[in-house]
Amino acid sequence: MSELREASDARRGVLFVVSAPSGAGKTTLVRSALERLPDLELSVSFTTRRPRVGEVDGRDYFFVEEGEFVRRLAAGEFVEWASVFDHSYATPRAPLDAAIAAGHDVLLDVDIQGARSIKAAYPRDAVGVFVVPPSLDELEVRLRARGTDGEEQVRRRLERARLELQALAEPGIYDYRVVNRERARAGEDLRSIILAERCRNDRAR
């Protein structure tokens, strides 16, 4: 029945790993991709940071105490974990394996360390997307306009962004870059990447 299999639409799920320096507009882009592509799931990470206003446990993150985080880490539940701005973050492995096997696509909002690890763990199934601001100057303007950080935080985030932008040149992590100059256009770019990757011949089962 190989003919049937070749003609079938059964395929492995894809892991879309999206990273960006903070202030590049990633959260908005990710939200709009999830709204416009209802068959795309969000990978819900574990974190030790406190929820921000409007964030929901189990939807945005699983908010856990340090002790629980360490227990899960020791039990091998995480495919990767990282310390970002003084808090721990980790991606649970089981939902990713289940999604790939079931042919469901997952969007992961992780930092560069996470993207590197996930690409290494799933070389065949992960696609790296980096969202970049039009320039570092523009990023600074956006970070200040956001008004959520003090001067010291803005400075730290800019310094980190400078380092993170270097990862774009690292081979094997980011397959795509989306320049977020204008939100609607960047959203279309991200959506196009997802739609095209779904059609790749080598994802067929």
Residues that bind ligand 5GP (CB under 6 A): 45, 49, 80, 82, 84, 89-91, 109-111, 113-114
Tokens representing 21 are 């320096």
Instruction: Kindly tell me which of 109 and 189 has the beta carbon lying closer to ligand 5GP.
Output: 109
Distance CA 90, CA 151 (A): 28
Q: How far is the CB of 111 from ligand 5GP (least distance, A)?
A: 4
Asked if 42 and 34 touch (Cβ cutoff 8 Å), the reply is yes
Instruction: Kindly tell me which of 122 and 203 has the beta carbon lying closer to ligand 5GP.
Output: 122
Instruction: Kindly tell me which of 45 and 180 has the beta carbon lying closer to ligand 5GP.
Output: 45
Instruction: Kindly tell me which of 14 and 161 has the beta carbon lying closer to ligand 5GP.
Output: 161
Q: How far is the CB of 15 from ligand 5GP (least distance, A)?
A: 12
CB atoms within 10 A of CB 94: 10
Q: What are phi and psi of 93, to 5 degrees?
A: -80, -40
User: By beta-carbon distance, which residue lies closest to ligand 5GP?
Assistant: 114
Q: How far is the CB of 22 from ligand 5GP (least distance, A)?
A: 6
Instruction: Kindly tell me which of 91 and 180 has the beta carbon lying closer to ligand 5GP.
Output: 91
What DSSP designation does 205 have?
A: -
Q: How far is the CB of 84 from ligand 5GP (least distance, A)?
A: 4
Distance CA 191, CA 195 (A): 6
Quickly tell me which residue has 């770019």 as its tokens: 189
Coil, strand or helix at 203: helix
Q: How far is the CB of 90 from ligand 5GP (least distance, A)?
A: 5
Distance CA 139, CA 47 (A): 25
Asked if 140 and 154 touch (Cβ cutoff 8 Å), the reply is yes
Q: How far is the CB of 1 from ligand 5GP (least distance, A)?
A: 40
What DSSP designation does 50 have?
A: P
Instruction: Kindly tell me which of 105 and 203 has the beta carbon lying closer to ligand 5GP.
Output: 105
